[in-house]
């Protein structure tokens, strides 16, 4: 990789970080935009991704390390802070980049962006870090604050998780959130087998293997499956393993009519449709027209003809569908997304504690809206990609207290893949990221009494 390319990648990473922080933009969406906009070469995409996500992931730690070296420099521009974080990230966490090369690149970027004084300031700060070493995290006496800074999670969140899950589980989750997630995919068993699908992907140069926990899932160790011919041909759907458990929880049988109330982009809808062997009907709803288009595109790519997608606010479903007209209902509710922080590291810094209570109200209202559409004896699966009890267990317990015609479905465990069963607690399942190396995910299965 030439020095010119490196400079381009680092400067692009700095711009990305600046835009994410200023506009609270989603890092994953912005990264793709920048790759296309600046025509980043395929061999540099990995470095750009590593620098952007890595610096974001470790932001609080990096700021802690930088703080003593910034004293007396109160009016430092935002892009300079981003450049210092980005460079320190390479010095502390990337073995392949020598310190001198990282500092040289930072100074060159500063020269082209600012003036001689700025490049001198950056050089001085980074050289001081190199000479004096990093301040010790052990100096932080409060164990919650130390864990928060060490793993770059807001104090309120670490404290909340500690109260709900205990210190050890919280520590494991925070540490895992700093690692890059593996890409996983679901094989479309209506069109191929897992063995044949793996052979086709390997022939394309992908390094994949069968998931040890989900029978129809594969893990990808090299390559982006979204660019494969196998994906284009509708043989796989990119989806996290824990998210695949929602379709298992429903326990569908052929020719049933299923409602997926918050369905975009359609991963769970298409999984349900495949489990129905392309029979019956999956009614997939989403609030936004452009997201409904995504569901339909996915269904078409997978050649699934049993999905009907429509733009509709699920709080108004009773105006559009008859009571007791669905055999099973999936409500994958909008949530804080605290289970997917590995994929969206910027989320850590934008979420607020009060967001959780507001979301719990939305979730409860959605449950109240959809439950009358379920037939007697049918299953209602409530799921989220969060790990917070206020959005999960408390929402469900409150619903069961208010609606005595429902009960927890204790047969949930029997429908789960064997490797997941140890995590099932009665009618509920909470997967933490460290449990199977997946996203954090919650499922409750509720049955309408006959």
Tokens 């009571």 belong to 323
Say if residues 249 and 412 touch (Cβ distance below 8 Å).
yes
Which backbone phi and psi does 141 adopt, to 5 degrees?
A: -75, -40
Helices 59-66 and 78-93, axial angle in degrees (round to 10):
100
CA pair distance 386, 147, nearest whole angstrom? 20
The C-alpha atoms of residue 267 and residue 244 are separated, in whole angstroms, by 8
Angstrom distance (rounded) from CA 115 to CA 428: 59
Separation of alpha carbons 289 and 28, rounded Å: 22
Provide the pairing of β-strand 441-448 with 428-431: antiparallel
Q: Which member of 197, 262, 385, 445 is catalytic?
A: 385
Say how far apart CA 162 and CA 156 lie, in whole Å: 10
Q: Helix H segments across 24-132? A: 27-37, 42-57, 59-66, 78-93, 99-113, 116-132
* Residue 11 Cα distances to 15, 78, 110, 309, angstroms: 6, 14, 10, 42
Exposed/middle/buried for 344, CB within 10 Å: 0-12, 13-18, 19+?
Answer: middle
DSSP type of residue 372: G
Residue 174 among the catalytic residues: no
* Whether 262 contacts 285, CB under 8 Å: yes
Catalytic residues, by residue number, are: 385
């Amino acid at each position: 990789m030439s020095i010119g390319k490196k400079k381009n990648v680092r400067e692009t990473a700095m711009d990305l970080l600046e835009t994410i922080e200023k506009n609270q933009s989603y890092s994953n969406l912005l990264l793709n935009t920048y790759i296309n906009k600046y025509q980043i070469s395929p061999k540099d995409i990995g470095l750009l991704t590593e620098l952007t996500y890595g610096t974001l992931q470790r932001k609080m730690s990096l700021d802690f390390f930088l703080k003593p070296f910034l004293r007396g420099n109160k009016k430092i521009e935002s892009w300079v802070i981003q450049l210092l974080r980005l460079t320190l990230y390479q010095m502390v966490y990337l073995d392949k980049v020598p310190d001198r090369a990282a500092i040289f690149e930072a100074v060159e970027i500063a020269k082209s962006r600012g003036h001689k004084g700025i490049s001198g300031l950056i050089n001085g700060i980074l050289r001081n870090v190199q000479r004096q070493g990093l301040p010790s995290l052990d100096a932080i006496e409060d164990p919650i604050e130390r864990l928060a800074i060490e793993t770059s999670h807001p104090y309120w969140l670490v404290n909340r998780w500690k109260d709900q899950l205990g210190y050890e589980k919280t520590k494991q989750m925070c540490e895992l959130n700093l690692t890059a997630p593996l890409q996983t995919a679901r094989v479309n068993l209506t069109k191929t087998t897992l063995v044949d699908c793996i052979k086709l992907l390997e022939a394309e140069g992908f390094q994949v293997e069968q998931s040890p926990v989900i029978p129809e899932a594969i893990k990808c160790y090299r390559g982006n499956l979204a660019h494969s011919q196998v994906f284009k041909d509708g043989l796989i759907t990119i989806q996290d393993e824990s998210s695949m458990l929602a379709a298992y929880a429903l326990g569908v049988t052929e020719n049933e009519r299923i409602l997926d109330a918050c369905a975009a982009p359609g991963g769970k809808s298409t999984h349900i449709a495949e489990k129905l062997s392309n029979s019956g009907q999956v009614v997939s709803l989403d609030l936004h027209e452009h997201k409904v288009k995504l569901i339909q595109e996915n269904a078409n790519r997978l050649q699934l003809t049993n999905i009907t997608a429509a733009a509709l606010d699920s709080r108004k479903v009773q105006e559009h569908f008859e009571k007791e007209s669905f055999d099973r209902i999936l409500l994958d509710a909008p949530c804080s997304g605290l289970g997917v922080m590995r994929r969206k590291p910027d989320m850590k810094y934008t979420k607020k504690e009060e967001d959780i209570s507001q979301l719990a109200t939305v979730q409860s209202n959605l449950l109240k809206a959809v439950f009358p559409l379920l037939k007697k004896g049918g299953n209602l699966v409530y799921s989220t990609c969060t790990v917070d009890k206020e959005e999960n267990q408390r929402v469900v317990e409150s619903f069961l207290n208010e609606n005595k015609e429902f009960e927890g479905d204790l047969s949930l465990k029997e429908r789960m893949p064997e490797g997941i069963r140890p995590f099932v607690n009665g009618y509920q399942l909470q997967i933490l990221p460290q449990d199977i190396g997946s996203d954090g995910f919650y499922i409750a299965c509720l049955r309408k009494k006959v």
